[in-house]
Amino acid sequence: MTIREVRAALTALLKQAAPGVPVSKSDTDKPVVRPSFKIDIFPAEGNAACGGARERSIDVDVWYYPAERVEYLEECSEMAERLIAALEAGIDTGEIVLVPDDTVSTTISLGVLVLQFALSWCESAAETGEMMENLEYREEE
């Protein structure tokens, strides 16, 4: 599964949790549309697992720019509650449902809500159709 697929699934979750609120591209600086979301995804780890499988981990930041630049605290608090509840149900990627690893932390700074969490999953090795080799057991006396 690619980061692009995770981003698309998270975008769908945000649009369902907050209908009518657009999701801006993460590398768009200005103008900031209000209200809107921005998603930043950073690859954190990629490890080999058993049988050619891969363990993947990413860090996610979801930014919410409230409609109001002044008196935004209540709007941001309500959105944080809504998003945390949506994330508890998981992010359906079509392949698997990803649930945040530990906690979803929230911060409100300079009038912007930021949710931060990590996602991890394991990808199995691609099937080749080849049979496993026969195990040869050799005993020594």
DSSP 13-77: HHHHHSTT--EE-TT--SSPPSSEEEEEEEEEEEEE-GGG-EEEEEEEEEEEE-S-SSS-HHHHH
Q: pLDDT tens digits, residue range 105-122?
A: 999 999 999 999 999 998
pLDDT of 4 strictly over 70:
yes
User: Which of residues 33 and 130 earns the better pLDDT score?
Assistant: 33
pLDDT of 91 strictly over 60:
yes
Q: Tokens at residue 25, please?
A: 């591209």
User: Which of residues 45 and 66 earns the better pLDDT score?
Assistant: 66
Q: For residue 82, name the pLDDT band (cuts at 50, 70, 90).
A: very high
pTM: 0.83
Classify the phi-psi angles of 46: left when phi > 0, otherwise alpha if psi is within -120 to 50, otherwise beta.
beta
pLDDT of the residue at 45: 82
- Provide the percentage of residues in the chain whose pLDDT is more than 90: 67
pLDDT of 131 strictly over 70:
no
Side-by-side strand order, sheet with 105-109 = 23-24, 36-48, 54-65, 112-123, 105-109
